[in-house]
Amino acid sequence: MESLELEKQPSPYDLTDEQEKKEIVRRYRALLRALKPKLKTGDKELVRRAFELSVEAHKTMRRKTGEPYIFHPLSVAMICVEEIGLGVRSTICALLHDTIEDTDLTLEEIQLEFGSEMAKIIDGLTKIATVVDNNTTQQVENFKKILLTLTDDPRVILIKLCDRLHNMRTLDSMKREKQLKTASETVYVYAPLAHRMGLYNLKTEMEDLAMKYLDPDTYKQVAKKLSETKRERTKYINEFIKPVKEKLDKAEFAYEIYGRPKSIHSIWNKMKKKNVEFEEVYDLFAIRIIVTAGFEHEKEACWKIYSIVSDMYNPAPERMRDWLSNPKANGYEALHTTVMGPQGKWVEVQIRSKRMNEIAEKGLAAHWKYKEGGAEEDRFDKWFSQIRETLGGEDISSIDFLQDFKTSFLAEEIYVYTPKGDVKMLPVGSTALDFAFGIHSAIGSKCIGAKVNHKLVPIGYKLKSGDQIEIITSNKQKPTEDWLSSVVTAKAKSRIKDALKEEKRKIAEDGKYVAEKKLSAYGAAFSQHNIDELVAYYKMPSSMDLFYRIAIKQIDLKELQEFELKGDRIEFIKIKKTEPEKAGPENTRVDDKKDAELIIFGEQSDKIMYSLGNCCKPIPGDDVFGFVTTGKGLIIHRTNCPNATRLLSSHGHRVVKTKWVKNKEISFLTGLKITGLDDVGVIHKITNLISGDLKININAITVEAKEGIFEGNIRLFVHDKDELDLLLNKLRALQGIQTVQRYNPES
């Protein structure tokens, strides 16, 4: 279904291998066993028919791993059933999800065999597949298709997420550039989407697998340290749990309690966010308590357990999270608290009921009742209707759409209140202006300020959970360009852009009149051909933009004399340039040679213009990729660059494979942040090691000491990553040094 699975080859032999046949049957039987609780009369025959059709359709195909292709739909179906709890219909759709796109089977045949409901889901999956990895189509267009099918039938996206997860699990067999693109797309779009659907297990596994390919060194480093500290962690968890179990048993609760390790990706995020080493991340695991209680008594039981835990271990009040009173928008309900455990260590404790736990693990799939109502369905219905409204807006062709969607619909939420006490959910980072547009477009457009908790605030004020907001409006107010930087929700951005476009259109009418007069004076007609010629000459996106620029006097049409008049038609006189062309990205045609290997600092470096990304300052030895820009030629980025996932997922077709060739004559600027004890001679020891022992050239050094701790920033020139790693290890070994981390200095 996805691009990385479409590189299929005819099998060197049809499925005659007995071992393969046995393995296919074994996997099919395992799928049936997993489905058993959900099978009704006649279901088994339908599943068998779907399986047979899939085997027949894919019999001559193999995956890049060399396995029979049927392993993929069987694995996707198994993830649907076992890991997110979908039923018979979704299983059939998962088994057939690639058949329409890749084989001779038609949608009509599937409809005749399995009915219109399943045919519709498979059609939705096929529509998504047909635009994946099309080099001429932006990834954003693909994502819109995914969203449209999601609002039509959520099972489409649930199966799609299972399909993506299995492809991530089998990504080893793909080429490096395909691994980078797929991993970036996964962490940028699919993992947040899985999170928003409440599928936490899928989300964390996707993030970990993406990190394995985007930042393999860090991934291995954190995984190794997790493995090395496992025994010590298990011992501590048992010590923490033992007295809690005694109290819970005494209170006669039916419960499960266990320690769950945090994902590699989330541990690395904490290390980056708090600027600490692995050893200093206190919440490497969480203690989870799952209580069995009837629906009416769930909350009461959770609070009682919280009371027992907080009586034994002191809680940190600022780390308390109550998602029982206000569940997350994806349905997640739980109590989270962080308490001071034995040996002075902070420990996160998560408390929830069995029903809440199923929702936490299976997300939307656990509480989506097809044909039935219910509060949880309403929660998602509201979300889907907001997506439909956004997709129905006029201006969704922008490349910012993907980022706008992420901040609007995939971010964490805050709860705020109207003056009457009605609760509203908004993404984190929302402002008073977002709230105003959330109430109604007309209120947003006239907003001049707000009262938050009865105090006057500007329209750009960032809201916090629990705020009560009253919007102040004026009929004289109109949206302005700078409003766009004061909002995060897609609805607010879309409405502001619509209003600005309407205002621009009115001004453009004056420019249209001026253009007509000037053309007439030159002896040319005010015709579509002549307008198109002017639009092309001035490189305007549209005729409205041209007329607008004329109206605001940014264009005065003096250049009309450069046009040749043929009757009443104008044509631009193209003057041929005689000077020799300069070597550069335009004539190397890097974008056309996508598969050509770019060797940096090797023999070809004089043929290709490139620059190193200021956002990540790569040095030889870093895992990198080249990115073709429209104005600056080829830019080299590290694969763990802050912008890498956005570039690789939104513009994958502009990525060029790159490889370093060592050259000890060229040095690269990089930076180190060092913290430690402000002891006598510590700075001398550091500079002596860098300049004296390792002969590395220091560009600049700044040191600040406060209350016995120093923080230093050193800019220096290194030849490659090996030299930098050696320096990092030697600095960390110095007495009194607490942390040493690489950073990207400004040029």
Q: Is 101 a catalytic residue?
A: yes
Q: Cβ contacts of residue 279 below 8 Å, gap of 6+?
A: none
Strand order in the sheet with 455-457: 455-457, 447-452, 469-473
What is the number of alpha carbons within 13 Å of residue 169 lying toward its C-beta? Answer: 15
Report in angstroms the alpha-carbon separations of 723 from 416, 662, 664, 702, 742.
Answer: 52, 12, 10, 22, 13
Rounded distance between C-alpha atoms, residue 182 and residue 210, angstroms? 8
Report in angstroms the alpha-carbon separations of 357 from 255, 327, 347, 351, 678.
Answer: 12, 13, 20, 9, 48
Rounded distance between C-alpha atoms, residue 367 and residue 374, angstroms? 9
Question: How many C-beta atoms surround the C-beta of residue 94 within 10 A?
Answer: 34
Among candidate residues 20, 23, 82, 101, the one labeled active-site is 101
Among candidate residues 2, 5, 98, 102, the one labeled active-site is 102
Q: What is the DSSP string of 611-662?
A: EE-TTT---TTS-EEEEE-SSS-EEEEETT-TTHHHHHHH-GGGEE-EEE--
Q: Which two tokens stand for residue 263?
A: 């994902």
273: left (phi over 0), alpha (psi -120 to 50) or beta: alpha
**Long-range pairs for 422-428: beta carbons < 8 A, 24 or more residues apart:** 423/326, 425/329, 426/463, 426/489, 427/488, 427/489
Q: Is 102 a catalytic residue?
A: yes
Q: Which two tokens stand for residue 222?
A: 């954190």
Asked if 237 and 261 touch (Cβ cutoff 8 Å), the reply is no
Three-state SS across 356-413?
Answer: HHHHHHHCHHHHCCCCCCCHHHHHHHHHHHHHHHHHCCCCCCCCCHHHHHHHHHHCCE
Rounded distance between C-alpha atoms, residue 631 and residue 661, angstroms? 26
**Residues annotated catalytic, as ranges:** 101-102
